[in-house]
Amino acid sequence: MSIEIRNIGKRFGDFVALDDINLNIPTGELVALLGPSGCGKTTLLRIIAGMESADSGQVLFAGEDATHLHARDRNVGFVFQHYALFRHMSVFENVAFGLRVKPRALRPTEADIRRRVNELLQLVQLDWLSDRYPSQLSGGQRQRIALARALAVEPRVLLLDEPFGALDTKVRKELRRWLRRLHDDMHISSVFVTHDQEEALEVADRVVVMNHGKIEQIGSPDAVYTNPASPFVYQFLGNVNVFHSRVHGTWADIGRASAGEAPGGEAMAFVRPHDIEIERFPVIGSLEATVQEVHAVGPVVRIELAHASELIEAELSRERATVLALVRGQQVWLKPRQLRVFATPEAVLEEGGSGI
């Protein structure tokens, strides 16, 4: 079922959590809401679920206005960040809960409930745990039970709040792929919230990057990574070097010229470390720099360089690094393979910490 969000706004006191949000999620799509903490992504998810009411705007499910529909009537499956399993119920009863609280006329028979719960537990591959209590499960198991519980009521939409946030790296990677397969099998629309760009890029069909209560960019994982729409997105998704026209006149001016803009005003150029080419001799439009550190990290070699007392990071393949044979203190020339230029706004990116 499709979800449509129109002009949603929400404040908490003086704090603007969401500012005029518009978003369309077509049926069957898996969408990630990505952003730093405090960007409003969880608030948006809770508004879709009906857990929070918006100050303004509308939420539409399959084209029908659901803005004033109560959470219990929205038929959404919500998976909480810390799972929120009912600690006094067994795994079985947790999953059965949504079926047992249905109005008498709609409630399945005990046998049907049993069958349905067992099916779901098999689906999440935890049918052998049905008599356990939540406190006896590992984090990954709780996560899957929380999913099974949400799916029991056959929701039209599945919403997940930081679904893998509390898990360790290995379990997180497994569950990601599993969630992707599950989503594809169930044919429902899913939205999940995350602050982990790798997670969003790997799992989602579409990524919605948010910051300060606004949507910065909506696009496929590839599009938001390779073609960021704003300085924030550039910095949030992956490592990036920033060159200010004031300091590194050359590149920003080159970028501006190549973008067909007239020079003038402050500008910033963004270059990803793996888009920097290192040469041993000067070439046109290159910056002179000194090698500071060389670290071999797995398949890549990271090189820290200094240009006019500013640090620049570059990433080379092992082969290229071998050819260059860089050593500390060496003089080199840098050339960007790809760069983006943005006019420098006021107080730019003061907190858009570079994602890992």
Partner 1 sequence: MMSAPALRRANTEPRWLRSLLLGLGLGFLFFFLALPLLAVFVEALAAGWPAYRDALSDGETRSAILLTVFVALFVLPFNVVVGVAAAWAIAKFDFRGKSLLITLIDLPFAVSPVVVGLVFLLIFGAQGLFGGWLAAHDVKVVFALPGIVIVTMFITFPFVARELIPLMQAQGKDEEEAAISLGATGWQMFRRVTLPNIRWGLLYGVILANARAMGEFGAVSVVSGHIRGETNTLPLHVEILYNEYNAVGAFASASVLALLALVTLVAKAVVEWHMRRETRMLAAELPPEKAGVVP
Partner 2 sequence: MFVTAAYRRQVLPGFGLSLGCTLVYLSLLILLPLSGLAFKASNLTLGEFWAIASGERAMASYRVTFGASVLAATINAVFGLIVAWVLVRYSFPGKRAIDALVDLPFALPTAVAGITLATLYAGNGWIGKHLEPWGIKVAFTPVGIVVALTFIGLPFVVRTLQPVIEDIEPEVEEAAASLGASRLQTFTRVLLPGIFPALLTGFTLAFSRSIGEYGSVIFIAGNMPLISEITPLLIISKLEQYDVIGATALAVVMLLISFVLLLSVNALQWWAANRHSGHGGRGAGRGA
CA distance 112 to 115: 5
Select the binding partner of residue 43 from partner 2, partner 1, none (C-beta < 5 to 8 A, by kind).
partner 2
CA distance 30 to 204: 5
Closest CA to 127 of 114, 139, 138: 114
208 three-class SS: strand
CA distance 314 to 28: 39
310 scored as a contact of partner 2 (CB under 8 A):
no
Closest distance to partner 1 from the beta carbon of 135 (Å): 4
Which residue, 193 or 267, is less far from partner 2 as judged by CB? Answer: 193
146 three-class SS: helix
Helix, strand, coil % (nearest 5) of the chain?
30, 30, 35
76 scored as a contact of partner 2 (CB under 8 A):
no
Closest distance to partner 1 from the beta carbon of 117 (Å): 13
The residues, ordered by sequence, that sit 6+ positions from 80 with a Cβ below 8 Å of its Cβ are: 146, 161
Question: Exactly one of 193, 237, 303, 341 binds partner 2 (CB under 8 A); which one?
Answer: 193
Which residue, 45 or 201, is less far from partner 1 as judged by CB? Answer: 45
98 three-class SS: helix
39 scored as a contact of partner 2 (CB under 8 A):
yes
41 scored as a contact of partner 2 (CB under 8 A):
yes
Token readout for 143 is 């996560």
Closest distance to partner 2 from the beta carbon of 159 (Å): 13
Site for partner 2 in 42-61 (CB under 8 A): 42-45, 50-53, 55
Distance of alpha carbon 335 from the chain centroid: 30
Which residue, 47 or 312, is less far from partner 2 as judged by CB? Answer: 47
What are residue 314's phi and psi, to 5 degrees?
Answer: -130, 155
Amino acid at 309: S
Closest distance to partner 2 from the beta carbon of 155 (Å): 16
Which residue, 173 or 307, is less far from partner 1 as judged by CB? Answer: 173
Closest distance to partner 1 from the beta carbon of 71 (Å): 5
Which residue, 80 or 333, is less far from partner 1 as judged by CB? Answer: 80
> Which parts of this chain interact with partner 2 (CB under 8 A)?
11-15, 17, 33, 35, 37-45, 50-53, 55, 68, 70-71, 193, 195, 210
